[in-house]
Each structure stands twice: as structure tokens, then as C-alpha cells.
Amino acid sequence: MSTTTYPYNEGGYTLYSNPCCPYAQRAVRALNAANIPYSIETIDLKNKPSWFHLVNPQLKVPALRTPDGTILIESLVITEYIADQFPEAHLLSSDAIERAQLRLFIELFKTRFIPNIYNVLKSANEKEGKQSKQALLDGIRDIGKELDIQWSRKSGKGGPFWNGDKWGYVEIVTSSFIGNLVPLKHYCAFTVPDTEEFASFNRWRKAIEAAPGFLEIKPDDKLLINAFERYIAGVSK
């Protein structure tokens, strides 16, 4: 630990994280995929350390301290920094069109999947719950359609991951939210139907759930379910 007012790894990378935070998991998976040595400071999100505001005034994880002392926040900023800083890891394509297609898919996932997960959990009544579940299913259907388009491209190579048979950047930034289907099933009895309409999404989801890059930091189901109880209780972040 440094003699300064917050802990960090002198001359190396320090990630401020929490194992149940899906945004923080993005950063962990990116660092692991790039094979970068780093240390972790685990932040208790219910009892944040007094020094944490010096790392991130917004008091959110993840935050990454680089070897030169720069602190980066926001999960997608951190993952893209890692991809750019370590091009030898090939996390992002060097082709501008392929990168644009990847970003468009991530934007679709960010707007049609992630918020609807939380909307279902926070539904105040049965009617609201049905509407939220339908919005999530509509988003999942559209994600599947985009996967079909990608898999028909040369870079998609037929799936089951975004880049064919290779776990990559898309999975690094989406897989933790796929994992959130566990508490959604527990609290809201929501599952993705095993029908042709959702076949492409389910193929991708199952490949993610079996991938070492997902399993190596996957939180225990019980721990994840307990972490999501606050959304059911209507407690804000």
C-alpha cells in the first residue's frame, strides 16, 4: 500500500471493483483477456471506504489507476482503453467498419437489454411487470437478429460468439449482464423462451455461459441473487 491517502499498486495497475457489479466485471474481464498483471481493491458498495472519493468522486466502480497515476472511470472507457493500450491482445479489430459494427451492437445491448433487466426487477405491480418483460423480450429478439446479421459477415464466421468461435470484446462487455438473468429468474420467474424466435440469442447466451472468460469471475448464484435484492426492495443505487 502506498503512503498516500488511498491504496494502489505502485508502478502497476490497480482496479477498484466489486465482484457482483456487472460494470466492474467488464473491466476485470478485459484485463484478464489482455493478460495484464493488476491488483484489485474490493469496494464494499454498502459501506464504501472513506478514501474512495479520492479515486472516484462519483463513488462508483469500476475505477482503474494506471501505472502513471491516471485514474479512469466508466466501464466502457476502461475496456476500450485496455484494448487500445494493448493491441497485441486483439480485443478490438483494427478494421474501422468492424469496430463500428461492434459499437452499434453494444449500443443496442446497452439500450434494449440492460435497462429492461432492471425495469423488470423494479416493477411495482403485475401490469408493469408484464410490460417490462415484454420490452425485454423485444430487445432480446432484436439482439438475436443483429447476431444473425453479424454471423453472416466474414468477421462473424457463423458464431456462436460475435467473432465466430472466439470470445472477444463484445462478450467482455455484455456477459456480466447475461449473468443477471439468474436473479431475474429467481425474483421474477423470467426466462428466455426456448423457441425459434429467440434461437440466436440463446445460442450466443449458452456459449457465453460455458466460456472460461465468463466462468472465471462469475459470482456465485446465491451471492448475485442477494446483491440484487435491493432492486426488488425499491432501493436506488
pLDDT greater than 50 at residue 170: yes
CB–CB of 188/132 below 8 Å? Answer: no
pLDDT band at 124 (very low <50, low <70, confident <90, very high): confident
The predicted-structure confidence for 133-150, as pLDDT tens digits, reads as follows: 999 999 999 999 999 999
pLDDT band at 13 (very low <50, low <70, confident <90, very high): very high
The predicted-structure confidence for 83-120, as pLDDT tens digits, reads as follows: 999 999 999 999 999 999 999 999 999 999 999 999 99
Which cell goes with 28? 476485470
Q: Report pLDDT for 234.
A: 45
Q: Residue 65 and residue 78: Cα distance in Å, rounded?
A: 10
pLDDT band at 236 (very low <50, low <70, confident <90, very high): very low
Q: Residue 81 and residue 13: Cα distance in Å, rounded?
A: 13
Q: Which domains does the chain have, with CATH numbers?
A: 13-89 (3.40.30.10), 96-232 (1.20.1050.10)
The predicted-structure confidence for 179-200, as pLDDT tens digits, reads as follows: 999 999 999 999 999 999 999 9
pLDDT band at 1 (very low <50, low <70, confident <90, very high): very low
- DSSP letters for the chain: --SSSS---TTSEEEEE-TT-HHHHHHHHHHHHTT--EEEEE--TTS--TTHHHH-TT--S-EEE-TTS-EEESHHHHHHHHHHH-GGG--S-S-HHHHHHHHHHHHHHHHHTHHHHHHHHH--SHHHHHHHHHHHHHHHHHHHHHHHHHHHSTTTTT-SBTBBTB--HHHHHHHHHHTTHHHHHHHH------SGGGHHHHHHHHHHHH-HHHHTTPPPHHHHHHHTHHHHTT---
Pick from 99, 105, 31: which is nearest to 63 by CA? 31
The predicted-structure confidence for 33-89, as pLDDT tens digits, reads as follows: 999 999 999 999 999 999 999 999 999 999 999 999 999 999 999 999 999 999 999
Q: Report pLDDT for 4.
A: 60
Q: Residue 174 and residue 209: Cα distance in Å, rounded?
A: 12
Q: Report pLDDT for 172.
A: 98
Q: Report pLDDT for 2.
A: 46
Which cell goes with 181? 438473468
pLDDT greater than 70 at residue 3: no
Q: Residue 198 and residue 137: Cα distance in Å, rounded?
A: 9
Q: Report pLDDT for 232.
A: 85
